Amino acid sequence: MLELRDVHSGYGETRVLHGISIDVHAGEVVAVLGRNGVGKTTTLKTVMGLLPCLEGEILLDGRRLDGARPYDIARSGVAYVPETRDIFPSLTVLENLELSLPLGEKRGGGWTLARVFEIFPRLEQRRANGGMQLSGGEQQMLAIARALLLNPSLLVLDEPTEGLAPIVIGEIHSKLAELKRDGLTILLVEQNFGFATSLADRCYVLGKSVVQWSGTSDAILADKDMQHRWLGV
């Protein structure tokens, strides 16, 4: 579904990615792992058109994404949940969700407000509360729910467990596992090794701005030398 072919990217004159190649197949969860500063978030921002693809190609179902504007990428079926979540604090939960409805309805698909409230019942309970009144876990749920209402073919998640308590991380994990069982394709960046490998079908490990290792979650769990060298686990 998604292909990154020898992608170079960065900030201004500073290059962060030096030839990243990643494949994500329909219906699978792929995790991108690595220490801080190796380019994981840069990779996702480049996929979303928030940073320029300076060299290489990014394709979605065979169509070029590199060079496209972020909102056109969203219209093509890629929904992005940034590490900062970026909900609107002055809007209610319901108003935050309603922002996604026009595009989601235009794309068509199974995600509606009723279905989002079914998978995230706490959001229905808090639907009249402002974004600034939510806990960190509730904000993460809201950010994911808002992305789902776009009816995406690909969900891109950046550090969904960042700053959350262990009990909330477990809840987020169960929700993502449910989405995986439903067949949603997910590209995930995550520092929590156990969280990522328990969800992902395959993993890519970044180091020194390139892919240093790729393989199944079972393979990465068995490769202790690689974990020590590139993840510091």
Q: What is the pLDDT of residue 154?
A: 97
The pLDDT of residue 233 is 54
Q: Residue 30's domain is classified under what CATH number?
A: 3.40.50.300
* Residue 86 vs residues 131, 151, 159, 209: alpha-carbon distances, Å: 10, 19, 13, 26
Q: 102-153: per-residue pLDDT in tens?
A: 888 878 778 999 999 999 999 999 999 999 899 999 999 999 999 999 999 9
Would you tell me how many other CB atoms lie within 10 Å of the CB of residue 21? 15
For the chain, what is the domain count?
Answer: 2
152, 173, 200 - which closes a domain: 152
Residue 75, C-beta contacts closer than 8 angstroms, at least 6 positions apart: 103, 107
- Tell me the C-alpha distance between 187 and 200, whole Å: 9
Does 178 fall in a domain? no
| Within a domain: 167 | no
Q: Considering the domain boundaries, does residue 103 fall inside one?
A: yes
Considering the domain architecture, whether residues 129 and 191 belong to the same structural domain is answered as no
Which residue from 37, 38, 77, 70 is spatially nearest to 53, judged by alpha carbons?
70
Burial 85-106 (b: 16+ CB within 10 A, else e): bebeeeebbeebbeebbebbee
- Distance between CA 215 and CA 163 in Å, rounded? 28
Q: Are residues 48 and 67 in the same domain?
A: yes
Residue 68 pLDDT > 90, yes or no?
yes
- Secondary structure letter of residue 12 according to DSSP: T
Residue 8 structural domain = 1-74+154-160+185-233
The reply to whether 39 falls in a domain is yes
Q: What's the pLDDT score for residue 62?
A: 94
Whether residues 14 and 30 fall in one domain: yes
The pLDDT value recorded for residue 228 is 93
**102 and 70 fall within a common domain:** no
Query: Within this chain, do residues 145 and 198 fall inside the same structural domain, yes or no?
Result: no
Q: Of 67-71, 123-127, 162-166, 185-189, give the lowest mean pLDDT range.
A: 162-166
**Backbone φ, ψ for residue 130 (5° rounding):** -75, 155
Our measurement of the distance from residue 151's CA atom to the centroid of its chain's CA atoms, rounded to an integer in Å, reads 14
139: which 2 tokens?
């904000």
**pLDDT value at 101 more than 90:** no
What is the spatial distance between Cα 33 and Cα 189, in angstroms, rounded to a whole number? 6
145 shares a domain with 97: yes
